[in-house]
Amino acid sequence: MAMSAAPPRRGERRLLVVVLRLALAGVILAGWEAYGRLVDSSLTSTPSDIAAVLAGWARSVLWLNLGVTLFEIAAGLVLGVPAGIVAGLFLGRARVAGALLRPIVVLFYSVPFIALTPLLIMWFGVGSASKVMLIALSSFFLLFFNTFAGAQEVDPDLVAMADIMGASRRERFVKVIAPACAPRILSGLKTALPFALIGAVIGEMLAARAGLGNLLMDSGNDFDMAGLYAALAVLMVVGVVMNALAQRLETWLLRWRP
Amino acid sequence: MSASARLDAITAVTQERRPARAVPLVAVGRVLIVLALLLFWQVASDRLAAQLWVSDPADIAVRLWRWTIDGTLGLHLLATIEAWGAGYVTGGLCGIAVGFLLGIARFADRVLSLFIAALYGLPKLALLPLFVIGFGIGLQSKIALVATVIFFITLYSTRDGVRDVDPDLIASLRIMGASRSEILSKLLLPATLPWILTAMRISVSITLVTTVGGEVLSSNRGLGFLIASSSARFDTTGVFAAATVLVAISAVVNALLTGREAGASRWRG
Amino acid sequence: MDEPVIELTGVAKLFDARGVIAKALDEVDLVVRPQRFVALVGPSGCGKSTVLNLVAGLLDPSAGSVRYRGNPVERPNRRVGYMTQKDTLLPWRSVADNIGLPLELACRALGRAERHDRVEQMMELVGLAGFGRHYPSELSGGMRRRAALARMLIYEPETLLLDEPFGALDAQLKLVMQQELARLTHLRQMTVLFVTHDLTEAIALADEVAVFTRRPGRIRRLCKIDLPQPRDIVSVRFTPDFAGYHDLLWNELKEEFGTGGDA
């Protein structure tokens, strides 16, 4: 296609945004580097040192620690998420049990599981098991609360309609109730993902033999600022990727919404 | 639509079928379930699991009473509330201010959004070692942590609120001759207020968890410290006692913020 | 063969609206025989829709009995098709998947290909051809009504309960749909209970028209419409008999509107 004489303004602006972003990143890094070298690097380290640490890690400890953290997150979510959805669906639809258990559900909603990490480490040890349990518990309850609320809010008209059309109990569940809870389930999932990362990291910071949190805490304890920032950089990437994945998943699964 | 037309709607069905007489029974049932769980815990302790690991409700109650009398509870509770409150206010205000600026200056927002999203993706508790090195192990590092957490929540919400204001409204005020500051005070601020309040409300419980999480990791006071130090001594009763206080605060706060029973429907968004 | 399909005897219905007891229906007697098309007209809020909910088994009567083919209606009535006033399309399913839903259910499951064909046919019939892949939120109110109608008609239940099915449609389309409904119910020998505000529509379609009083709803007058079936929905309106029925029923209805109520 031929270049048009006057390119659209929007494209021009987009390019400008990219250029400005790059420039800003450059200025920040340069300022940081200059401050560290010329004034004081005891707290801020310098981008070049951090990069050096990252490069060193990339050839050694990074992958193991990253793998451990990702494994803990994945295992915890696999244990917690499906169980939470199923429990929420069933209890949310069981009228009597739902009414009876509601206050307990609300109470558990108030339990800050992250604060109970020491207890879990006491129970399940310093290894990955305690982190997996922490993530499983918090993701279970997050999904449970959301699905429970969703299941109780399903439009009764839709359920009545399915009944009249002759849907069996199973069909009513699979075709009406579960999909009607999808928005709630997804908002639970979107909260559970960052919580899982936080859970893994806090567990590893508190007591662990491996993992990104452990890497972070070791660097902090050694006052190794470059290591500390390097670990933070890795965590930032993991966090951003997880948020983006959750966003993608939601947009795709809820494409029917206006 | 009149009330009677609504009666006709099928929705009336479900309400109707909910038997009204069952309500007191439900309340009794709820109390019984809670009592049964506590009793089970009490009886099972040392029979199904070692008391050392699971403690029991009676011990926890005694411990709470002792802590209340000797001032332990007050000291740590106060420390937590102090860090929580100070971080909440400073971080919240900064987030609102920056969010407002970014909402108005859209181009700057587009340039900066990438950097903000990157910082937002970072699990904030991971910043604690940095804050401890910078501010020490006391309250200040927890305040900084809590402030960082709420900063991003209010920032995003305020920015979206400002952006959501109908540009036609701004234009019509301009035409009426409103100055920039008048547009700000008469339109943008009131229009954004509900967004800000929502963010502040969501943040209450998240910041509480963050405060205690920070205290668990490194501190010398606070409910989180109490949990961490108890567990370091394998004092399960102490962990549960501190956690009970925490759950109680959290439950009260949630109840106040979301109204009765609405809890399950608005989890920390 | 002439046993009633639907039989309401002395039916009353009370609602508890936040502590205030409201009487929606009082002493309603109604018999619908097989293959009859019965229209219910009356001021809004007179309990016409409640009658449908009772027959569908979504409500229990406070007094009296509701029978379907001789048996009391207790559970949701699976032998009827019900099109409620509010549209109950599943928002997460495309239009085609919504219309095909009844044929997916185990009780009448069809193969994928056959289902697809029937759905296509049905969409053609209600004028939704080409919209199969849209989601309900992307359709206008009238299109959603038509999709709901198609979903009900596709499984050809023996009895149809219709609550203002054509209320949101423009005049042109309304005529087409009315004609289609008349043709189909006649062809398939369906029994129909039809709630409407529109007296003209009621007379043009129905074998019997029941005029309801204001709340608490009672049947003020039941009138047989002795116009030959099948009818041409458009031309039937210009016959003298039609005008006669219209005058008669309008005079009944007018009094219910005239004396207040909340219409």
List, for residues C222-249, the tens digit of each pLDDT value: 888 888 877 888 888 888 888 888 888 8
Contact A158 C90 (CB under 8 A): yes
User: Which residue does chain A place closest to C98, by CA atoms?
Assistant: A175
Chains that touch C (3 or more CB pairs under 8 A): A, B
What is the ipTM, given to two decimal places?
0.86
Q: What is the mean pLDDT of residues C39-54?
A: 86
Q: B22 pLDDT exceeds 60? A: no
**Cα–Cα distance between A31 and C153 in angstroms, integer?**
71
Chains that touch B (3 or more CB pairs under 8 A): A, C
Range among A66-70, A253-257, B185-189, C58-62 rated most confident: A66-70
Distance of CA C84 to the CA centre of its chain: 8
Interface with C, mutate which of B1, B2, B7, B23 (most C CBs under 10 A): B7
Q: And the tokens for C87?
A: 């549209």
Q: How many helices (H) and strands (E) does chain C have?
A: 7, 10
pLDDT confidence of B135, banded at 50, 70, 90?
very high
For B232-267, the pLDDT digits (tens) are 898 999 999 999 999 889 888 877 876 543 433 333
CA geometry: angle C132, C76, C214, nearest 5 deg: 95
As a dihedral over the C-alpha atoms of residue C45, residue C47, residue C49, residue C52, rounded to 10 degrees, the angle is 180
Q: B129 pLDDT exceeds 60? A: yes
pLDDT confidence of A93, banded at 50, 70, 90?
confident
Kindly report the number of other CB atoms within 10 A of residue A148's CB atom: 30
Q: Which amino acid is at C98?
A: N
Q: Say which of A155, A158, A166 has its CB closest to residue C105.
A: A166
For B144-171, the pLDDT digits (tens) are 999 999 999 999 999 999 988 888 888 8
> Would you call C45 an interface residue with chain B, using a CB distance cutoff of 8 Å?
yes
Instruction: Say whether C76 sits in a helix, a strand or coil.
Output: coil
Contact B130 A228 (CB under 8 A): yes
Contact C26, B26 (CB under 8 A): no
**Cα–Cα distance between B242 and B222 in angstroms, integer?**
10
Q: B229 pLDDT exceeds 90? A: yes
**Cα–Cα distance between C43 and C257 in angstroms, integer?**
6
Distance of CA A121 to the CA centre of its chain: 21
pLDDT at site A176: 92
Q: How many angstroms separate the CA of residue B69 from the nearest CA in chain A?
A: 24
**Cα–Cα distance between C155 and A165 in angstroms, integer?**
9
> Would you call C122 an interface residue with chain B, using a CB distance cutoff of 8 Å?
no
For A215-252, the pLDDT digits (tens) are 999 998 888 999 999 999 999 999 999 988 888 888 88
pLDDT at site A227: 92
Contact C91 A165 (CB under 8 A): no
Instruction: Say whether B260 sits in a helix, a strand or coil.
Output: coil
Q: Which run of H or of E encompasses C163? A: strand C159-163
Report the Cα–Cα distance between both ends of chain C, in Å, rounded. 39
Among A136-140, B117-121, C14-18, the range scoring the smallest mean pLDDT is C14-18
pLDDT at site A145: 87
Contact C50 B2 (CB under 8 A): no
Q: How many angstroms separate the CA of residue C27 from the nearest CA in chain B?
A: 17
Q: C261 pLDDT exceeds 50? A: no
pLDDT at site B268: 33
> Would you call A236 an interface residue with chain B, using a CB distance cutoff of 8 Å?
yes
pLDDT confidence of C253, banded at 50, 70, 90?
confident
Q: B49 pLDDT exceeds 90? A: no
C46 φ, ψ to 5°?
-90, 0
pLDDT at site B14: 28
Q: What is the mean pLDDT of residues B26-35?
A: 83
Report cis status (omega within 30 of 0) of the bond before C230: yes
> Would you call C50 an interface residue with chain B, using a CB distance cutoff of 8 Å?
yes
Give B185's Cβ-side CA count (13 Å radius): 5
Q: A205 pLDDT exceeds 90? A: yes
Task: Using a pLDDT cut of 90, give the percent of chain A over it.
Answer: 45
Contact B215, B228 (CB under 8 A): yes
B8 contacts in chain C (CB < 8 Å): 24, 45, 47-50, 85
Sign of CA dihedral C112, C117, C121, C127: positive
**How does the average pLDDT of chain B come out, rounded?**
82
B12 contacts in chain C (CB < 8 Å): 15, 17, 59
C168 versus C164: the higher-pLDDT residue is C164
pLDDT at site B25: 76
User: Which residue does chain A place closest to B107, by CA atoms?
Assistant: A17
Instruction: Say whether C65 sits in a helix, a strand or coil.
Output: strand
pLDDT at site A10: 65
**How does the average pLDDT of chain A come out, rounded?**
88
Who's near B40: CB < 8 A, 6+ residues apart? none
Q: How many angstroms separate the CA of residue B5 from the nearest CA in chain C?
A: 4
Sign of CA dihedral A234, A237, A239, A241: negative
User: Which residue does chain B place closest to C53, by CA atoms?
Assistant: B10
Contact B8 C86 (CB under 8 A): no
Who's near C46: CB < 8 A, 6+ residues apart? C212, C213, C214, C215, C217, C256, C261
Contact C215 B4 (CB under 8 A): yes
**Cα–Cα distance between C175 and C179 in angstroms, integer?**
6
Q: Which run of H or of E encompasses C204? A: helix C199-205
Q: State the pairing for strand pair C63-68/C6-17.
A: antiparallel
Distance of CA A29 to the CA centre of its chain: 28
- A to B CB pairs, distance under 8 Å: 185
Find the radius of gyration of the CA atoms of chain B: 24
Among B5-9, B210-214, B233-237, the range scoring the smallest mean pLDDT is B5-9
A33 versus B180: the higher-pLDDT residue is A33
Q: How many angstroms separate the CA of residue C31 from the nearest CA in chain B?
A: 21
> Would you call A87 an interface residue with chain B, using a CB distance cutoff of 8 Å?
no
User: Which residue does chain A place closest to B268, by CA atoms?
Assistant: A191
> Would you call C24 an interface residue with chain B, using a CB distance cutoff of 8 Å?
yes
pLDDT at site B31: 84
**Cα–Cα distance between A70 and A64 in angstroms, integer?**
10
For residue C55, count CB atoms less than 10 angstroms from its CB and return exposed for 0-12, middle for 13-18, buried for 19 or more: buried
Q: B11 pLDDT exceeds 70? A: no
Q: And the tokens for A125?
A: 């040890």
Instruction: Say whether B55 sits in a helix, a strand or coil.
Output: coil
> Would you call A109 an interface residue with chain B, using a CB distance cutoff of 8 Å?
yes
> Would you call A156 an interface residue with chain B, using a CB distance cutoff of 8 Å?
yes
Contact C92 A175 (CB under 8 A): no
**pTM, rounded to two decimals:** 0.81
Interface with B, mutate which of C14, C21, C50 (most B CBs under 10 A): C50
DSSP state of C221: E
For C13-39, the pLDDT digits (tens) are 888 777 778 888 888 889 999 989 999
Q: What does the buried/exposed string (b/e) look like for A78-107 if buried means 16 or more CB atoms within 10 Å of the residue's CB?
A: ebbbeebbebbbbbbbeeeebbbbbbebbb
* Ramachandran sector of residue C16 (left: φ over 0; alpha: ψ -120 to 50; beta: rest): beta
Q: What is the mean pLDDT of residues C2-7?
A: 85
Q: How many angstroms separate the CA of residue C157 from the nearest CA in chain A?
A: 9
Distance of CA B182 to the CA centre of its chain: 34
Who's near A206: CB < 8 A, 6+ residues apart? A117, A118, A121, A213, B216, B217, B228
**Cα–Cα distance between A225 and A219 in angstroms, integer?**
7
Q: How many angstroms separate the CA of residue A127 from the nearest CA in chain B?
A: 16
User: Which DSSP string corresponds to chain A?
Assistant: -PPPSS--HHHHHHHHHHHHHHHHHHHHHHHHHHIIIII--TTT--HHHHHHHHHHHHTTHHHHHHHHHHHHHHHHHHHHHHHHHHHHHHHHH-HHHHHHHHHHHHHHHT--GGGGHHHHHHHH-SSHHHHHHHHHHHHHHHHHHHHHHHHHHS-HHHHHHHHHHT--HHHIIIIIIHHHTHHHHHHHHHHHHHHHHHHHHHHHHHS-SSSHHHHHHHHHHTT-HHHHHHHHHHHHHHHHHHHHHHHHHHHHHTTT--
Q: How many angstroms separate the CA of residue C262 from the nearest CA in chain B?
A: 7
C198-to-B33, B176, C205, C209 alpha-carbon distances in Å: 55, 48, 11, 11
For C70-121, the pLDDT digits (tens) are 888 888 888 889 998 888 899 989 999 999 998 888 777 788 888 889 899 8
Among B95-104, C56-65, C168-177, the range scoring the smallest mean pLDDT is C168-177
pLDDT at site A79: 96
**Cα–Cα distance between C56 and A159 in angstroms, integer?**
13
Q: And the tokens for B137?
A: 């192990």
For B55-111, the pLDDT digits (tens) are 888 899 999 999 999 989 999 999 999 999 999 999 999 999 999 999 988 888 989
C194-to-A207, B142, C208 alpha-carbon distances in Å: 70, 67, 10
pLDDT confidence of A213, banded at 50, 70, 90?
very high
Task: Using a pLDDT cut of 90, give the percent of chain C over it.
Answer: 13
> Would you call A4 an interface residue with chain B, using a CB distance cutoff of 8 Å?
no
Contact B112 A24 (CB under 8 A): yes
**Cα–Cα distance between B222 and B210 in angstroms, integer?**
12
pLDDT at site B185: 84
